C-alpha cells in the first residue's frame, strides 16, 4: 500500500482508477496543508530555545536528498574548527521507541544513525523522536556547544540558529503538491524559513538555473550552495576501514541492491564508474532485509553467474545478515561523500558566523 501511494504521489500511475484516487488524495492534501500551516503558526509563536547552537539539516520532500551525507560533512568541519558537536536524530524505523544514547546496532538506532556512528566514531549520536529532550541529554552528558538536527526542518517547535535545506537537483519538488497527492512535507512557501539551500546531485542535472531562480524568488536572502555526491571507494562488508580503489569493479557484472529514497541516482552513479549492472534489486526505503530477501538475491544472481553484490552504506548495515547465509557472493559497499562544488567558502562562513553572534 505504501509503495502504491508513493507511486500515485509521484504520478507513476495514470490509469482511470489511479486518476480517481489521485483526485481524492488531492482533497486530503488540502486538509493536510491547512493543518500543517496552523501547527507551524502555533509553534513559531514561542519556539523553544536551547543553551547551545542548533544547526538543522532537513528537506521539504519525501525521499532521499542527501541529508545524511551533509550532516557528516558539517560535523567533520565544525569538529576541525574546535567545536564539540552532537547529532540528534529521530532514528527512523528503529525498533525500540524509547530514546537512548545508541551503542548497539541499527535495529535499536535506525540505519542512518548507525551508519553515522560507524563513520563518526567520537561524535555523540542521540536517537530520540523528541529532539528537545535528546539535545538536552547531549548537553548534559557530553558538554557540547552545538547540536546538529538530522532531518530537522519540520521541527517547528525548536528555535534554530541555522536552518539548512537540502534539495535534490534531479527532482526538487515532485509535482509541487503536498502529501499524500505529492511528495511535499509542507508548502513551498516554507522555504522562507531557510537560511541556506544546498542543491545536491547537481552533476545529474545539466541545468539547475530554473531551480535556483525559483529559490531566489521565494527567499533571496538564503544562498544556494551546489554539491555533488562523490564516490570515494569501495569496501567489503565488515571491512569499512579497508577502502579499495573505485576501479576495482570496473567492467565487472554485479547485482545492485538498495532500499533508499533515490535508487535511480545510486544506479546512475554505479554505471558512471564503468560497472556493468546485471540485476537490480530495489526495495522500499529503510526496508528491513529478511533472510528470504537475501536468499532470493543470491539465487537470482547465481542464475546469471553473478558473484558480486554492490550496495550503499545505509543498506550495508541492514544487509549484515548476508555473512550468515551460505553463498559464494562477495558484497561491496560504495562509500560516498558530499562535495560542495560552488560557494563552499560562503557555506563555511555562514557556519562559523554562528559562533560570533
Given this model, what pLDDT does residue 325 score?
Answer: 59
**Cβ pair 50, 147 in contact under 8 A:** yes
Query: Would the CATH topology of 43-229+339-356 be identical to that of 231-335?
Result: yes
What is the phi/psi pair of residue 270, to 5°? -65, -45
CA 305: distance to chain centroid? 33
- Characterize 163-193 residue by residue with b for buried, 16 or more Cβ atoms within 10 angstroms of its Cβ, and e for exposed: bbbbbbbbbbbbeebbbbbbbbbbbeebbeb
| CATH number 3.40.50.10860 is the correct assignment for the domain at 43-229+339-356 | no
Q: How is residue 181 written as a grid cell?
A: 497527492
Q: Look at domain 231-335 and name its CATH class.
A: alpha beta
User: CA of 85: how far to CAs of 113, 124, 141, 172, 298, in Å?
Assistant: 15, 7, 12, 29, 41
Report helix, strand or coil for 237. Answer: coil
pLDDT in tens, the chain (357 residues): 777 787 778 888 889 998 999 999 999 999 999 999 999 999 989 999 999 999 999 999 987 788 999 999 999 999 999 999 999 998 765 544 444 444 556 667 777 888 888 888 889 999 988 999 999 999 999 999 999 999 999 999 999 999 999 999 999 999 999 999 999 999 999 999 999 999 999 988 879 999 999 999 999 999 999 999 999 999 988 788 889 999 999 989 999 999 888 888 899 899 999 999 999 999 888 788 888 888 899 899 999 999 999 999 988 888 875 555 556 788 899 999 999 999 999 999 999 999 987
Q: Where are the domains of the chain?
A: 43-229+339-356, 231-335
- By C-alpha distance, which of 125, 129, 154, 160 is closest to 141? 125
Nearest-angstrom CA–CA distance, 89 and 91: 6
Report helix, strand or coil for 164. Answer: strand
Amino acid at each position: 500500500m505504501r509503495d502504491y501511494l508513493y507511486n500515485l504521489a509521484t504520478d507513476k500511475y495514470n490509469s482511470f482508477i489511479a486518476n480517481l484516487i489521485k483526485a481524492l488524495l488531492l482533497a486530503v492534501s488540502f486538509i493536510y496543508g491547512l493543518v500543517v500551516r496552523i501547527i507551524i503558526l502555533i509553534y513559531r509563536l514561542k519556539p523553544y530555545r536551547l543553551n547551545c547552537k542548533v544547526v538543522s539539516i532537513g528537506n521539504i520532500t519525501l525521499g532521499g536528498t542527501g541529508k545524511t551525507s551533509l550532516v557528516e560533512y558539517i560535523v567533520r568541519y565544525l569538529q576541525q574548527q574546535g567545536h564539540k558537536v552532537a547529532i540528534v536524530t529521530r532514528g527512523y524505523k528503529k525498533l525500540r521507541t524509547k530514546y537512548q544514547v545508541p551503542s548497539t546496532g541499527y535495529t535499536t538506532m535506525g540505519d542512518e544513525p548507525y551508519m553515522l556512528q560507524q563513520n563518526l566514531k567520537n561524535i555523540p549520536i542521540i536517537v530520540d523522536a523528541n529532539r528537545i529532550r535528546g539535545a538536552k541529554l547531549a548537553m548534559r552528558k557530553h558538554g557540547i556547544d552545538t547540536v546538529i538536527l538530522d532531518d530537522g526542518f519540520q521541527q517547528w517547535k525548536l528555535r534554530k540558529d541555522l536552518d539548512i535545506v537540502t534539495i535534490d537537483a534531479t527532482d526538487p519538488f515532485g509535482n509541487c503538491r503536498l502529501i499524500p497527492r505529492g511528495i511535499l512535507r509542507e508548502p513551498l512557501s516554507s522555504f522562507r524559513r531557510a537560511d541556506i539551500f544546498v542543491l545536491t546531485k547537481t552533476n545529474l542535472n545539466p541545468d539547475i538555473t530554473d531551480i535556483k531562480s525559483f529559490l531566489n524568488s521565494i527567499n533571496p536572502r538564503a544562498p544556494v550552495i551546489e554539491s555533488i555526491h562523490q564516490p570515494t571507494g569501495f569496501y567489503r562488508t565488515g571491512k569499512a576501514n579497508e577502502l579499495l580503489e573505485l576501479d576495482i569493479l570496473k567492467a565487472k557484472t554485479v547485482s545492485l541492491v538498495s532500499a533508499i529514497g533515490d535508487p535511480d541516482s545510486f544506479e546512475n552513479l554505479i554505471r558512471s564508474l564503468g560497472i556493468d549492472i546485471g540485476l537490480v534489486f530495489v526495495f522500499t526505503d529503510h526496508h528491513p532485509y529478511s533472510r528470504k530477501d537475501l536468499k532470493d538475491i543470491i539465487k537470482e544472481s547465481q542464475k546469471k553467474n553473478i558473484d558480486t553484490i554492490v550496495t550503499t552504506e545505509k543498506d550495508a548495515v541492514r544487509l549484515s545478515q548476508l555473512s550468515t547465509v551460505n553463498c559464494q557472493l562477495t558484497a561491496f559497499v560504495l562509500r560516498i561523500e558530499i562535495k560542495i562544488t560552488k560557494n563552499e567558502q560562503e557555506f563555511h562562513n555562514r557556519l562559523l558566523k554562528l559562533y560570533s553572534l
